Amino acid sequence: MYAVIKTGGKQYKVTEGDVLKVEKLNAEVNTTVELTDVLLVAGGDNAVKVGKPLVEGARVVVEVLSQGKGPKVINFKYKPKKASHRKRGHRQLFTEIKVTSIIA
């Protein structure tokens, strides 16, 4: 069984036991969170439920493994032949989750 969920403005295809990094969720480490934005659920019996836009009553239960920051991304702008430049850095926050169950 797999599902397509939406979190943090992105869509992910997940199955039970998957570990993935998503945009930061407001949850403590070692807690469970229910994600209710389920776009599609497909089971082993060839039954596919497609939401318009969400599948009613479907949810994905995940466990929060860790919170962290991604690698630093450098933004460097300069103007040639001038003494003008700007250097900025950014590290995106993420949450590492593990899918424990898919309820359809």
The DSSP annotation for 45-76 comes to TS-EEE-SSS-TT-EEEEEEEEEEE---EEEE
Reply yes or no on whether the pLDDT at 99 is more than 90: yes
Reply yes or no on whether the pLDDT at 46 is more than 80: no
Q: What is the pLDDT of residue 47?
A: 87
Give the integer Cα–Cα distance in Å for 101 and 104: 10
Give the integer Cα–Cα distance in Å for 5 and 9: 10
Q: What is the pLDDT of residue 102?
A: 94
Predicted confidence band of residue 43 (pLDDT cuts 50, 70, 90):
confident
Reply yes or no on whether the pLDDT at 75 is more than 90: yes
Percent of the chain predicted with pLDDT > 70: 99
Give the integer Cα–Cα distance in Å for 74 and 21: 21
Amino acid at 21: K
Q: Where are the chain's structural domains?
A: 2-67+95-103
Note the pLDDT tens digit of each residue in 8-28: 999 999 999 999 999 999 999
The token pair that represents 48 in the structure block: 């596919």
Mean pLDDT confidence for 84-93: 97
The token pair that represents 81 in the structure block: 């032949």
End-to-end distance of the chain based on CA atoms, in angstroms?
A: 10
Q: Which residue in 35, 71, 69, 68 sits closest to 54, CA to CA?
A: 35
Q: Among the listed ranges 10-14, 32-36, 38-42, 46-50, which one has the minimum average pLDDT value? A: 46-50
